[in-house]
């Protein structure tokens, strides 16, 4: 398969959809898939005009995990390189200047759960199963799970999920804050597309700034994080978006933000 076959990209106006496409292996992540995803993310970031993206998996799984057959005979050097590739790829998703919604349509385990965690938020099918089962294989999460999961669900819950390796269903994932919403399987993509369209209609610079500020302020003391907000709030006024957005509000019409 070519890189384009492993990760499919579809554009519908300002909304892009990336689909991990290795359904015969439940979209398991090997080096080729990670490299294809990295290339697709890079192309998406360079293209311009995209205001929101949706990430999903082909077939019955989102991503069932990393390719265990490919990892079994790794030594520490190979394992380090593989984990570093996963981190670079997932960091690139986080660094995109627009939100990415994970549409988890089935299994999101191990590396698949970590991939979803690299997105801004997660919508899940009622059939979804999520978890970090790596300890059952004698390893720990290697693509950011030990760091992103505590930031999403809290330290104690993340430790329980990682230490036990248990899988949880969509409703439990919603209860603990891992996913934002749960939908019937045939309604998942429509829900993600509707939310993506709502985001795409907002000021693209403002959304990009909001994404950066919420990430950068997370680990700062509150006073410093609030100071960052003041700085970036003021910087928004250097773009033309506030004038258009506020004029449209006063004129009772939808704003016409320029496409980035």
134 is catalytic: yes
- Cα(106)–Cα(112) distance, rounded to whole angstroms? 10
- Cα(51)–Cα(89) distance, rounded to whole angstroms? 20
Bridge partners of 125? Answer: 183
Bridge partners of 167? Answer: 131
Question: Is 204 in contact with 255 (CB distance < 8 Å)?
Answer: no
φ and ψ at residue 56, rounded to 5 degrees: -145, -175
**Class of residue 49 by CB neighbours under 10 A (exposed 0-12, middle 13-18, buried 19+):** exposed
Nearest to 173 by CA among 107, 111, 226, 235: 107
Following CA atoms 21, 23, 24, 28 in sequence, which dihedral angle do they give, to the nearest 10 degrees? Answer: 80
What distance lies between CA 156 and its chain's CA centroid? 22
**Among residues 94, 114, 216, 244, which one is catalytic?**
114
| DSSP tag of 29 | B
Bridge partners of 100? Answer: 53
Bridge partners of 182? Answer: 124
241 is catalytic: no
**Among residues 78, 126, 134, 216, which one is catalytic?**
134
Catalytic residues: 114, 134
């Amino acid at each position: 398969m070519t890189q384009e076959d492993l990760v499919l990209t579809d554009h519908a106006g300002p909304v892009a959809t990336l689909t991990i496409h290795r359904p015969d292996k439940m979209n398991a992540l090997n080096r080729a898939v990670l490299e294809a995803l990295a290339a697709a993310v890079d192309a998406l970031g360079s293209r311009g005009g995209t205001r929101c993206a949706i990430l999903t998996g082909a077939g019955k799984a989102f991503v069932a995990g990393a390719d265990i057959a490919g990892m079994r005979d790794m030594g520490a050097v190979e394992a380090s390189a593989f984990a570093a590739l996963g981190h670079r790829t997932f960091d690139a998703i986080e660094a995109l200047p627009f939100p990415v919604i994970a549409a988890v349509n089935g299994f999101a385990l191990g590396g698949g759960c970590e991939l979803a965690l690299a997105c801004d938020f997660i919508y899940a099918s009622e059939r979804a199963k999520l978890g970090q089962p790596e300890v059952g294989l004698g390893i720990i999460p290697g693509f950011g799970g030990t760091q992103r999961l505590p930031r999403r669900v809290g330290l104690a819950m993340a430790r329980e999920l990682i230490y036990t390796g248990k899988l949880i269903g969509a409703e439990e994932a919603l209860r603990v804050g891992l996913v934002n919403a749960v939908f019937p399987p045939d309604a998942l993509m429509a829900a993600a597309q509707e939310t993506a369209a709502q985001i795409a209609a907002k000021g693209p610079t403002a959304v990009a700034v909001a994404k950066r500020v919420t990430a950068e302020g997370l680990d700062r003391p509150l006073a410093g994080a609030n100071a960052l907000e003041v700085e970036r709030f003021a910087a928004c006024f250097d773009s033309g978006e506030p004038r258009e957005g506020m004029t449209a509000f006063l004129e009772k019409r939808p704003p016409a933000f320029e496409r980035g």
